[in-house]
Amino acid sequence: MSRTDYPRIVAAVGAMTLLAAGCGNGDDTSSPDAGGGGETQNITVLLPNPSAINVFNLCAAIGEGYLEDEGIEVTVEAVDGSGAVLQAMVAGQAEIGLPGPGPVLNARNGGEDVRMFYNSFAQSLFGLVAPEDSEFEAVEDVEGEVVGVGTAEGAEVSYARGILADAGLEEDKDYTMLPVGDGGQATAAFERDDIAIYSAAISDMAILEARGLPLREITPEEFLAYFGNGYAATGEYMEANPEVIQGFTNALLKGNEWALENKDGTLEHCNEINPEEGGDAELASQLYDAITERSQPTGDDPVGIFPAEGWEAWEQNLVDSGELPGPVDDLEAAYNNEFVEKAS
């Protein structure tokens, strides 16, 4: 793939639609690499929503040729939430995905061997928000109300349930959840009074405010430290293709470093992938600022590393909220830091 050939990200409805990416059908196949005489691995990377800026590091890795340098060509697809990402990966329809930790632990609890290998959001990607002029100032105020979420199986659902459970609120007794979609759809849900608060991704917050709806974040401080979505693969694929996972990780880390130093160039790469998102330059700039900030570690951990204590907190969160019946078997098997640690 040349450095000017980009995949185009769109939301898939029903059966997944392959996107034009200058590569094959996304299966684990190889073809001669015109650039270096080696072999090129063609893989499909599956995202839980169509935002390109949300994966700014991947945009840079594609646009600057870092994936090409690793002998990897990607087809990028987007589906509706982490649940759909995991279902497709387990079905062999994608080699790599970007699910949230809550859905991953639920999948592992159900017997699926999915492992995360790159922490794309070291800080929480979500928050609970209400309109600034509303009466809702704390999580406890939501009793008897409707909580909006983007999708029925997205990572924001697990996140919200944990926070509400910590506040002593039980779903379908003290509150109900309503999938209302992302961004503009959530704005409309607030305007119709369909929802009291919204479990929003950082990108959704930027869109809501850009559309003239000032927000008040009511997320308890301790929940802002929960890491967000990360890149994952099945254990079977990871063990059979460690060189692909390593090359993909190498490219992401290089893409992350380049993107943080080149905002305008990164937005250009993201715009090539999703022109619709890049059509509003002011909003795209706001999204870049918000997303890059939440993607970087606040402590001493390197970029991409999963902290063990973060997984323990997520597991306890899910158990407390009733999403998991109990601790998962071998929590450490849910993630693998060795590819980031070995990255060149």
**Which DSSP string do the residues of 152-185 spell out, in sequence order?**
TTSHHHHHHHHHHHHTT--BTTTEEEEE--SHHH
Q: Residue 34: pLDDT above 70?
A: no
Residue of 146, 29, 160, 158 whose CA lies nearest to 95: 29
198 close to 62: Cβ distance less than 8 angstroms: no
Residue 167 CB neighbours (<10 A): 16
Q: Is the pLDDT of residue 8 over 70?
A: no
CB 150 within 8 A of CB 81: yes
**In the chain, beta strands by DSSP E:** 29-32, 39-47, 72-78, 96-97, 114-119, 126-131, 145-149, 175-179, 197-201, 215-217, 230-234
Q: What is the pLDDT of residue 269?
A: 97
- pLDDT over 60 at 30, yes or no: no
Q: What percent of the chain lies above the pLDDT cut of 70?
A: 89
Which of 162-171, 215-224, 302-311, 323-332 is the least confident region? 215-224
Spell out the domains of the chain, with CATH numbers in brackets.
29-123+228-342 (3.40.190.10), 126-225 (3.40.190.10)
**Quick one: pLDDT band at residue 18, thresholds 50, 70, 90?**
very low
84's enclosing H/E stretch is helix 82-90
Query: pLDDT tens digits for 155-176?
Result: 789 889 989 999 999 999 999 9
pTM: predicted TM-score of the whole model, two decimal places: 0.77
pLDDT for the residue 290: 87
Return mean pLDDT, the chain: 87
- The residue among 210 and 129 whose pLDDT is bigger is 129
pLDDT given for residue 36 in this prediction: 38
* Model confidence pLDDT, tens digit, residues 265-317: 999 999 999 999 989 898 899 899 989 988 988 778 899 999 999 999 899 98
**How many Cα atoms are found within 13 Å in the side-chain-facing hemisphere of 252?**
26
Angle between helices 101-109 and 155-166 in degrees, nearest 10: 90
Query: Looking at residues 27-31, what average pLDDT do you find?
Result: 43
In the prediction, which pLDDT does 184 show? Answer: 82
User: Taking Cα atoms as reference points, which of 41, 42, 75, 71 lies closest to residue 58?
Assistant: 75
Residue 126 tokens, joined: 């979500």
**How far is 47 from 125, CA to CA, in rounded Å?**
14
